[in-house]
């Protein structure tokens, strides 16, 4: 995947910049051409001469180099590469990317590129865990920026925790994945995942036991096959996959809005466990006991039916896939659901507590199509995701 490809490597100004020199060597060993770019701060850690010598090409660092800019060098650099890699991606550089700042060559290249971007974050653990960094990371992922790492480990400052830049071999593997042309390259696939939380009052909500693990695995498998994935997730127990555009929601109504905004798509996989009902007039203040011993009276209204709405759109995705979590008559209920919703496929599973499926690591699915029911053996959710991804690729071919 890397052989013969051109990598634009932007080196941020962190102590991990020394690892970028090893990254250049490993990428070249895999047959890639590397053009290094130093941020202003990076020059405090590695020299342009060293980066240039290892890359065997000019190292760029000045936005206002008259020779290069006479030919709009920052535009050419940003678009001539097959992939832009930022390693290390410091907190400052990630903030610039998230907010569209372009005050040096590195940040201007990132604004001007039309190619995929892979970042390898590296910073102090406190900086990594700061709310501003988390917001910026969410923004970058929502923009389709790919990430690798960071790892847990000892820091130059003496602290230990997440924030250590991924090792160069891991970054090279991520580069290979980013450059892979899979059977779903050029396809846009929408996925919903996780539970929804329907508020009762500011501190209480109605939810379900979905962990979001199956939807996350499906998103990762589809992205690994080259699809551009929009991942709409409720408050899941597992982190979202890398390399997808993440949209975080809480309620069913918010999920419906996010799905609408993400269309059109070639396929849509509705793996989220969406609440059927929401509380009417959820209180702005916490509900308190009044001493009478009587519970508060809650009124419910039906939530939007996201799967049915999308399946009946005139511009519906070519393939619409739903899930049916059942406790009784699994195949019959799922078959009825497929007809009622108007979707193409339904993946049904038995979520009785004794199965351990909801919230667990395994799944046992039955694929319901117009041709009938196909039982899949019990397998891990990652294996089930890969199997579904291959079936989707075949259907869209």
Annotated binding residues for CTP, written as ranges, equal: 276, 286, 304-307, 323, 337, 341
Which one of the listed residues 157, 180, 203, 261 is annotated catalytic?
157
Distance CA 135, CA 151 (A): 19
Phi, psi of 223, deg, nearest 5: -65, -40
Cα–Cα nearest to 166, from 95, 102, 87, 273: 87
Angle formed at CA 329 by CA 325 and CA 331, multiple of 5 degrees: 70
> Which amino acids are annotated as binding site, given as ranges?
276, 286, 304-307, 323, 337, 341
The contacts of residue 158 (CB under 8 Å, 6+ apart) are none
Q: Which residue has the tokens 């899941």?
A: 236
Query: CA dihedral defined by 79, 83, 87, 89, rounded to 10 degrees?
Result: 70
Distance CA 55, CA 50 (A): 9
Phi, psi of 20, deg, nearest 5: -65, -25
Residue 325 to residues 77, 233, 369, 384: CA-CA distances in angstroms? 50, 17, 16, 15
Cα–Cα nearest to 85, from 54, 104, 106, 105: 106
Distance CA 167, CA 234 (A): 31
Query: CA dihedral defined by 365, 368, 373, 379, rounded to 10 degrees?
Result: -20
Q: Is 157 a catalytic residue?
A: yes
Q: Which residues are catalytic?
A: 157
């Amino acid at each position: 995947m890397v052989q013969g490809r051109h990598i634009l490597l932007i080196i941020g100004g962190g102590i991990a910049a020394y690892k970028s020199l090893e990254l250049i060597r490993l990428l070249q060993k895999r047959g890639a051409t590397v053009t290094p770019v130093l941020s202003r701060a990076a020059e405090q850690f590695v020299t342009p001469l060293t980066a240039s010598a290892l890359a065997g090409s000019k190292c760029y660092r000045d936005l206002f180099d008259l020779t290069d800019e006479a030919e709009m060098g920052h535009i050419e650099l940003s678009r001539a590469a097959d992939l832009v890699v930022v390693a290390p991606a410091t907190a400052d550089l990630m903030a610039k990317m998230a907010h569209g700042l372009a005050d040096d060559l590195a940040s201007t290249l990132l604004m001007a590129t039309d190619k995929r971007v892979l970042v390898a974050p590296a910073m102090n653990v406190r900086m990594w865990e700061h709310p501003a960094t988390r917001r910026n990371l969410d923004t970058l992922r929502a923009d389709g920026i790919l990430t690798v790492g960071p790892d847990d480990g000892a820091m130059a400052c003496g602290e230990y925790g997440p924030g250590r830049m991924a090792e160069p071999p891991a970054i090279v593997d991520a580069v290979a994945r980013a450059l892979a042309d899979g059977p779903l390259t050029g396809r846009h696939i929408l996925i919903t995942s996780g539970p929804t939380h329907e508020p009762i009052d500011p501190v209480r909500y109605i939810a379900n036991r979905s962990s979001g693990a199956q939807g996350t695995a499906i998103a990762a498998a589809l992205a690994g096959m080259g699809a551009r994935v929009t991942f709409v997730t409720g408050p899941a127990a597992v982190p979202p996959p890398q390399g997808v555009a993440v949209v975080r929601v809480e309620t069913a109504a918010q999920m419906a809005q996010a799905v609408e905004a993400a269309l059109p798509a070639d396929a849509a996989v509705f793996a989220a466990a969406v609440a059927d009902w929401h509380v009417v007039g959820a209180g702005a203040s916490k509900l308190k006991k009044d001493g009478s011993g009587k519970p508060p009276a809650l009124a419910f209204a039906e939530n939007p039916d996201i799967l049915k709405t999308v399946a009946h759109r005139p511009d519906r995705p070519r393939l619409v896939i739903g899930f049916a979590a059942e406790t009784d008559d699994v195949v019959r209920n799922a078959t009825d659901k497929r007809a009622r919703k108007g979707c193409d496929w339904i993946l049904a599973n038995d979520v009785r507590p004794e199965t351990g499926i909801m919230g667990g690591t395994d799944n046992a699915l039955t694929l319901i199509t117009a041709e009938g029911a196909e039982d899949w053996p019990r397998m891990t959710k990652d294996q089930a995701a890969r199997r579904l991804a291959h079936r989707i690729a075949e259907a869209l071919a």
